[in-house]
């Protein structure tokens, strides 16, 4: 009897290096936030019973604030920050051919946290190296329901919905025994609702256009901090370089793999124009 459970593994690595001359004392809570790579969510969904696994690496390097700049802002909640890093693993599962649910598990690290302090007005201010923070971040669960799937025109559309749960660490302490501010904690301590839509359009057998919008409604989190609501939008073109193209005969929604047929199918270049 053929197995009714399909399993697909997709290993995706995304490394983003950013340089910013702006003040680096509010980098976003629970991850890189608005900075980092642009990852477009397409409207395509997994087949029923199919799994997909991916990993993501985001690396943001900031221009560290100078010592004179920090000393000039003693008491103004200004901090220096060198890097923000996020390492995440995601698992997706096809509940039906048109409904996919994914879970993203992040590990967040921030380095080079500096702060100017003046404990006694009679003493000169000094710059403290408070060290680094790292820990488990907030888990995101995202659902994707495809309500348009026209295989003739190559048009797909889906609604996005989900939640980010306050599972991350929020109580890390620096080397001086003080609790790090909310923006340096791996977790946010807040619940967030995610709502959006995605569109995919096949332009030719090898080239496709994808776009999505995503609204994030944010609640109040750790240390009574609120990040504010956000609206994200992405777009991308994708080109299939090798393998089966949309013009070749194939089926979707099958619950079995015929491995000999897959291995015998020749891979050949696809043209994007």
pLDDT at 11: 40
Higher-pLDDT residue of 18, 245:
245
pLDDT at 86: 94
**Environment class of residue 86 by beta-carbon count within 10 Å: exposed (0-12), middle (13-18) or buried (19+)?**
buried
Where residue 28 falls among pLDDT bands split at 50, 70, 90? very low
Is the confidence at residue 10, as pLDDT, over 80?
A: no
Rg of the chain (C-alpha set): 23
Higher-pLDDT residue of 132, 273:
132
Is the confidence at residue 206, as pLDDT, over 60?
A: yes
Would you say 200 and 43 are in contact if contact means Cβ atoms under 8 Å apart?
yes
Taking the C-alpha atoms of residue 202 and residue 213, their distance in angstroms, rounded to an integer, is 19
Mean pLDDT, rounded, for 38-56: 89
For residue 79, report the phi and psi dihedrals to the nearest 5 degrees. -130, 155
Is the confidence at residue 13, as pLDDT, over 50?
A: no
For residue 19, report the phi and psi dihedrals to the nearest 5 degrees. -120, 130
Higher-pLDDT residue of 102, 247:
102
Percent of the chain with pLDDT over 90: 64
What pTM was computed for the model? 0.74
For 109-158, write each residue's pLDDT tens digit.
Answer: 999 999 999 888 888 889 999 999 999 999 999 999 999 999 999 999 99
To which residue do tokens 């609702």 refer? 193
pLDDT at 119: 84
pLDDT at 212: 95
Q: What is the DSSP string of 92-139?
A: EEEEETTEEEEEEEEEEEEEEEEEEE-SSTTSPPEEEEEEEEEEE--E
């Amino acid at each position: 009897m053929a197995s009714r459970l399909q399993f697909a593994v997709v290993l995706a690595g995304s490394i983003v290096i950013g340089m910013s001359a702006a003040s680096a004392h509010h980098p976003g809570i629970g991850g890189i936030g608005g900075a980092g790579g642009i990852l477009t969510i397409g409207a395509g969904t997994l087949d029923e019973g199919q799994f997909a696994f991916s990993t993501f690496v985001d690396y943001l390097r900031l221009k560290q604030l100078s010592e004179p700049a920090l000393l000039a802002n003693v008491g103004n909640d200004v901090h220096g920050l060198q890097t923000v890093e996020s390492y995440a693993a995601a698992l997706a599962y096809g509940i039906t051919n048109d409904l996919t649910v994914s879970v993203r598990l992040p590990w967040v690290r921030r380095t080079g946290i500096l702060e100017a302090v003046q404990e006694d007005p009679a003493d000169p201010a000094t710059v403290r190296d408070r060290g680094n923070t790292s820990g488990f971040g907030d888990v995101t669960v995202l659902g994707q329901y495809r309500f348009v799937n026209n295989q003739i025109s190559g048009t797909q559309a889906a609604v996005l919905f989900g939640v980010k749960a306050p599972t991350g660490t929020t109580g890390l302490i620096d080397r001086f025994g003080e609790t790090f501010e909310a923006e340096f904690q791996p977790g946010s301590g807040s619940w967030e609702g995610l709502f959006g839509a995605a569109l995919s359009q096949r332009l030719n057998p090898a080239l496709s256009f994808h776009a999505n919008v995503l609204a994030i409604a944010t609640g109040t989190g750790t240390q009574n901090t609120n990040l504010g609501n956000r609206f994200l939008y992405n777009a991308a073109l994708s080109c299939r370089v090798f393998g089966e193209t949309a013009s070749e005969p194939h089926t979707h929604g099958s619950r079995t793999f015929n491995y000999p047929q897959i291995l015998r199918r020749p891979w050949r270049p696809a043209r994007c124009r």
